[in-house]
Structure formats: structure tokens, C-alpha cells
Structure 1
Amino acid sequence: PCKKEIKNIREQLPEWKKEADFNFMTVSIDESRTEGLVKSYVKSQGWEFPTFIDPNSDLKRSLNFQNVPFTIIIDKNGKIAFMHSGYEEGGEQEVFEKVIELSKQ
């Protein structure tokens, strides 16, 4: 599900960026032994946005989520404005609508 969601978001990012000023990044919670695989996958997909690796799942623990993908939108004040767990086809539009809403504040 993570790869599918990121693929769909990546395809829409150029258009979204025309409508709102925001940053997009990904965080992998895969184990440290798979770090090389994550990096090569990111490179093979041509992702031009930052991808961070959290091999100890510190982020997962601190935000107390169980399912991935887990989407977070952080507002301009550094506060979490939106969180969503899981993925369903087309769900990325809800995320973008929230980004637009926050960018107007």
C-alpha cells in the first residue's frame, strides 16, 4: 500500500505544487538491514523528494500508529494538523484537500 500511495502522490505532485506551497517527504520504518534496499528503490523510482529512514520505528512509537502507510500533515506552525492510517485508492485526494485548506490559513 505504501508504494501505491506514494506512486499516486508522486504523479500528482507537480499539479499540486502549482496550487499550494508545501513540502512532501516519506519516512521508511523498515528495519536497518533493509536500508540499502530502500535507498535503491527510491533511486529506481526517481523520487525527487526527501526520504528518511527510521529503522528503530521511533516515529511509529512516538505517534502511536500501527498501520502503514501513515500520513501526517504538519501545519506551518509545526503542529500536526491531520493524521490518517492506511490507504485506499483515491485517498490521496483527501490529503491534498487538507493541504489546500491549511495553505489558505
Structure 2
Amino acid sequence: MCEKELPVWKTRSKQLGNKLEFVAVNAGVNDKIDGVKRYVKSKGWNFQIVFDTNREIGKAFGISGIPMHIIVDRKGIIRYIGTEAFENIEKRVDEFIK
């Protein structure tokens, strides 16, 4: 997720409740974890932030650029990995929660 997208995902997370779980992965090698946590808290974001400082998550999913979006269904099946425009990702999310 891109920082510009996070306010929208915050709203969507509240709207969708338990139908969908949002997880943001911070891949910033130079970011300090405590600083990111303070920033997230100051913004009131209510979803989990995972830190990928060693790039293990990125390697596992073959992430080549950011922001990268990954949609995983309730059964743990990856339904989408890519860097589509944010508006398209919102549409994909809506398709999966129907």
C-alpha cells in the first residue's frame, strides 16, 4: 500500500468490518520501527503494520516494486498480486467480499 492510499483503506476497513482484513507491509529499510509505529498511531490507522526490513516478505511474494497489492481470500489462497492502479484494487476488493 502507498501512504496516499492508507486513509482510504482506513475508511474501507471500518466500512467492511470483519469481511476484510487489511495489512500494510513497511518495506522501508531506512525506516525506524518505533518512528513508523508512532506515525501510524498518530494517523489513527486501525490495521496491522508488518515490517519487512530484511525483505523476506518481498522475496516470498516476488515483489519487484511498490506499492504492491496482494489479495488473499479467507482460505489463504492468493487471488491477486500486482501493482495496478489503486482504483482497480478497490474494485477487486469489492469483488472478493461479495
Structure 1-normalised TM-score? 0.76
**Structure with greater contact order relative to length (CA < 8 Å, sep ≥ 6):** 1
- Paired position in structure 2 for 1:11: 11
Matched, 1:103 2:92: no
Q: Which consecutive segments of 4 or more residues in structure 1 shift more than 6 A?
A: none
Instruction: Kindly provide the CA deviation profile for residues 52-94 of structure 1, in whole angstroms up to 9, marking residues without a partner as x.
Output: 11110101111112211111000122111012226x4xx2x42
Counterpart of 2:43? 45
In the TM superposition, residue 26 of structure 1 has moved relative to its aligned partner by 0.8
Give structure 2 stretches of 5+ with no counterpart. Answer: none
* Structure 1: gaps spanning 5 or more residues: none
TM normalised by structure 2 equals 0.81
Structure 1 residue 33: Cα displacement: 5.7
**2:80 is matched by which residue type in structure 1?**
F
2:19–2:97 Cα contact (<8 Å) kept: yes
1:20-65: per-residue Cα shift (whole Å, max 9, x none)?
8111111111227621221111111111111111110101111112
Corresponding residue SS for 1:2 = coil
State the identity %: 26
1:72/1:80 contact within 8 Å kept: yes
Question: How much is the aligned-residue C-alpha RMSD, in angstroms?
Answer: 2.3
